[in-house]
Structure 1
Amino acid sequence: MDAVSYSSFRKNLKSYMQKVNQDSESLLVTVKDPEDTVVVMSKSDYDAMQETMYLLSNPDLMARIRRGDKQVQAGKATVHDLLEDVDDD
């Protein structure tokens, strides 16, 4: 993760925002008081992190995922082609 001072971040806000979105790498914005330091990340990375945290915090869903993973590792899964939606137009 790259770090940048608040003053540099403020002066080049647009370019830092573009870099964060293009690189999918968070940016640490530092200030004198470490408690005021922030991390800037793209919305898509934030959304992915929130979804991961939701999945990990749901014990029932995690149990199902682990059960499915064990089935795949035991060779009890089958591969098939994806189905396509058929329009009734």
Structure 2
Amino acid sequence: MEATTYSNFRNKLKSYIDKATNDYEPITIIRKDNRNAVLISAEEYNNMKENQFILGNPNNLKWLEESKMQAENGDLAHHKLLEDEDE
């Protein structure tokens, strides 16, 4: 994770936004009062919020853990896909 001062961040705003959005590089913005901030892409932020929502629900977490154990144990099910009747 790259870190920069607030002044440098302000002067090179476009460059830092490009790093965050194109390279998925979080940027820590260091402030004098030690109230730092982090710049990340909207895509990365949305992924974090989605993971927080999914993993924050005990039922979802239990289902994911059970599914992972089944896959690791080779307990997989195969299903034939239905054909579209219009084709």
TM exceeding 0.5: yes
1:1-89 → structure 2 map (5 Å cutoff): 1-35=1-35, 37-78=36-77
| Other structure's SS at 1:77 match | coil
What's the Cα RMSD here? 2.3
Contiguous gaps of at least 5 residues in structure 1? none
Deviation at 1:78, TM superposition (A): 3.7
Deviation at 1:31, TM superposition (A): 1.2
| Other structure's SS at 1:33 match | coil
* One-letter amino acid of the counterpart of residue 51, structure 2: T
Structure 1 runs of 4+ off > 2 angstroms? 78-81
Contiguous gaps of at least 5 residues in structure 2? none
| Other structure's SS at 2:74 match | coil
The count of corresponding residues between Structure 1 and Structure 2 is 86
Deviation at 1:55, TM superposition (A): 1.2
Structure 1 residues 35-84: Cα deviation after superposition (integer angstroms, max 9, x where no partner):
2x110000000001111111111000111111111111111114568x6x
TM-score by length of structure 1 reads 0.83
Distance 2:79 2:25 in 1: 35
| Other structure's SS at 1:4 match | strand
Deviation at 1:25, TM superposition (A): 1.4
TM-score by length of structure 2 reads 0.85
Deviation at 1:3, TM superposition (A): 0.3
